[in-house]
Amino acid sequence: MKAMRDRTPAIKKLLDKFNKHLAKYLEKFPDQTLRISLAYPLRYEEFSKMPLDHDFWNNGLYFQLTASWAVEPNVRTGTNCVLILSRLQEEYQLIAQELARAVGWGVSHYRRFSDSIAYLSQRITRLESENDNNVEDVEMDHIDQLNLGRIKSEKAKAKIPTTGEVEAALQEVVLGDTHNDGEDANEDWMTDNNNREDV
């Protein structure tokens, strides 16, 4: 609001100049009619309330034009409609281009995924055949370095020992042959041989 108040004197000066030139113009061309409903001379109070689509900004009088596109509201509205329709057609073409790109992208990725799935299936079949010792060793591939969440397959391929195998190996190393872990103990050792009662 303060900025508007600061510019008020300059605007009033321009309006006075406009009213002076308009008066001279109407005196020279008295047959010209105004299509603006505001009374003249134009005052700042009226000017400041004008909307942006007011006829003041689009009056053919100021350009000495009598063509229908300059002075007829219906023709000007129709021109805007034609421009809007042209813009809509342009947007439709852009959307069609984007749709074609999206479909092409989808088809390309579908083919890529299909090829990858087919390759992985073949790779799994070859690795299973290798585990069965039916074929020669299969060369390592970058796929083999990926962890795809199939833990059992990874463990089988890496030949990771089971829990029982690990326990047996630890017993042999830690206890050795000289220590008895109790697995081979005679049950009679835990009872009295005379009365067969527990000690």
Cα angle value 85/52/20 (rounded, 5°): 130
Is the pLDDT score of 147 beyond 50?
A: yes
Domain definitions of the chain by residue range: 2-66
Q: pLDDT confidence of 62, banded at 50, 70, 90?
A: low
What is the DSSP code string of 129-195? Answer: HHHTTSSPPPPP-GGGGS--S-HHHHHHHHTPPPHHHHHHHHHHHHTTTTS--STT--GGGGB-TTT
Residues in Cβ contact with 195 at an 8 Å cutoff, skipping those fewer than 6 apart: none
Neighbours of 61 (CB within 10 A): 19
pLDDT digits (tens, 9 = 90+) for 21-31: 888 877 887 77
pLDDT digits (tens, 9 = 90+) for 63-116: 556 677 666 788 888 989 999 999 999 999 999 999 999 999 999 999 999 998
**Chain-centroid distance, C-alpha 50:** 43
Is the pLDDT score of 199 beyond 50?
A: no
Stated pTM of the model: 0.34
Q: What is the per-residue burial (b if ≥16 Cβ within 10 Å, else e) of 117-134? A: eeeeeeeeeebeeeeeee
